[in-house]
Structure 1
Amino acid sequence: MTPHAQAPVRPVALVTGASRGLGRALARELAAQGWALVLDARDPVRLHRVAVELGALTDVSALAGDVADPAHREALGRAVDAHRRLDALVNNASVLGPSPLVPLRELDLTELQRTWTVNALAPLALVQRVLPALERTGGAVVDVSSDAAVEAYAGWGCYGSAKAALDALTAVLAVEQPELTVYAFDPGDMATDLHQQAFPGEDVYDRPAPESVVPALLELVCGRLPSGRYRAADLAPVEAEAVTA
């Protein structure tokens, strides 16, 4: 009797902030490549649309919520546990802080605390929760950073300081977990809702579309490079593309 061929094991990715922008663009590409997905976003309507679209291609678990909420992070962890593996964690969810941007002398410290919680604390908390699943695969952690983490731009102190903290946590994690590949990823300027919040009233859609950054991001999601901090512009050409809904 001929034994039944086993179905190939799908790699699994957890992508936060997946209802729009870079997170959605990455999720679409991973689904097209056959990855199973655990997706998160705060907007349940947008996230549902993405889940329906990508559910036609692959296994999708979509959980709406705030990564700053420990109960929501635990729900994401349980969704990962159901797969018994995790090949990539992409900490993409971010908040800008005040919009319009304000100088540090005017910054509401509750805004600063919220921004640090979402942009730095929550990514580490998710790593802690799903680390056993990542260790089983020797997976990749990709923390989406910003040039504001390393450059001093007026008005960007809230967001930039949170991303700088994320960069530091990412670098230390890479040293402490050498069995994983751990990256900080600076995508550069993109035509996203967050970028629009930083410049209200301006047209930011002359910037590259998030889809143009995905090839560079995939180099890290698939763990093809040593752990470290990478800019999209240094990994793959980023060309302007039409922004689509």
Structure 2
Amino acid sequence: MPVAIITGASRGLGLALAKGLSDAGWSLVLDARGAEDLRTAASELNGTVQAIPGDITDPAHRAALVTAADELGGLDLLVNNAGVLGPSPLPTLAEFPLDRLREVFEVNVLAQLALTQQALPALVARAGSVVFVTSDAAVEPYPGWGGYGSAKAALEHIGRVLAVEAPELRVWVVDPGDLRTRMHQDAFPGEDISDRQLPEAVIPAYVKLVTERPESGRIRL
């Protein structure tokens, strides 16, 4: 049974992906900051699930995730899905609080790389895969998205370089498109986002990706 770590798995895309992979027979290690929401999410899944609440900026928490995957048989897939939006409503760059921008980069870039570094020996040993969840804001200059988008752009380049440096892995930077999630709603407070598709709509494509394992690269679902 393959083993995956999914961060930010208590709701939204992370939870939908956890359901999709558990239904496909994967054993899972799930992370989120909200312990109660994470336990509830884990209780809804099939198969073997280890739910470990915590913050991925915490080195001890990252180590616990990788250890749990090792105990389930060895890590095959790391899904770097956890992230923060930053201030809501979205400020312009001229008004962006630098302390909040540091938080966005700490969570969306540095913690993602740190967890990947922690998991890399196990992934290389099993010729595994890494998913970095990105956004079209990483490549398009939308007003208000300078903080989040620049962090995702940095994350995308990390993914591209990792693919070159660790050719035994599959490394995908995956843009799932605009989804009807709490984070997306926070980006548009008070607006109706019901025209966006639910996260569940893109899960078959994710499961196909990690099952068929095409060459490393940027994937737009």
- Provide the residue aligned with 1:236 in structure 2: none
Superposed CA offset, 1:141-160 (max 9, x none)? 00000000000001000100
Q: Which of structure 1's runs of 4+ aligned residues deviate more than 3 A?
A: none
Q: 2-side partners of 1:73 and 1:222: how far apart?
A: 25
Shift of 1:137: 1.6
Which amino acid in 1 is paired with 2:213? R
Secondary structure, counterpart of 2:191 in structure 1: coil
Secondary structure, counterpart of 1:89 in structure 2: strand
Q: 2-side partners of 1:35 and 1:118: how far apart?
A: 26
1:1-245 equivalences in 2 (<5 Å): 10-54=1-45, 57-222=46-211, 224-232=213-221
Query: How large is the RMSD of aligned CA atoms in angstroms?
Result: 1.0
Which amino acid in 1 is paired with 2:78? L
Q: 2-side partners of 1:219 and 1:68: how far apart?
A: 30
Superposed CA offset, 1:190-231 (max 9, x none)? 000000000011121221000001122223323521000010
Q: Verify the 8 A CA contact 1:219 1:225 in the aligned structure 2.
A: no
TM-score, structure 1 length as denominator?
Answer: 0.88
Secondary structure, counterpart of 2:44 in structure 1: helix
Which amino acid in 2 is paired with 1:80? A
Which amino acid in 2 is paired with 1:147? D
CA 1:89–1:223 in 2, change beyond 3 Å: closer, same or farther?
farther
Secondary structure, counterpart of 2:194 in structure 1: coil
Q: Verify the 8 A CA contact 2:9 2:15 in the aligned structure 1.
A: yes
Which amino acid in 2 is paired with 1:95? V
Secondary structure, counterpart of 1:211 in structure 2: helix
| Structure 1 runs not aligned, ≥5 long | 1-9, 233-245
| Structure 2 runs not aligned, ≥5 long | none
Which amino acid in 2 is paired with 1:40? D
Q: 2-side partners of 1:152 and 1:39: how far apart?
A: 32
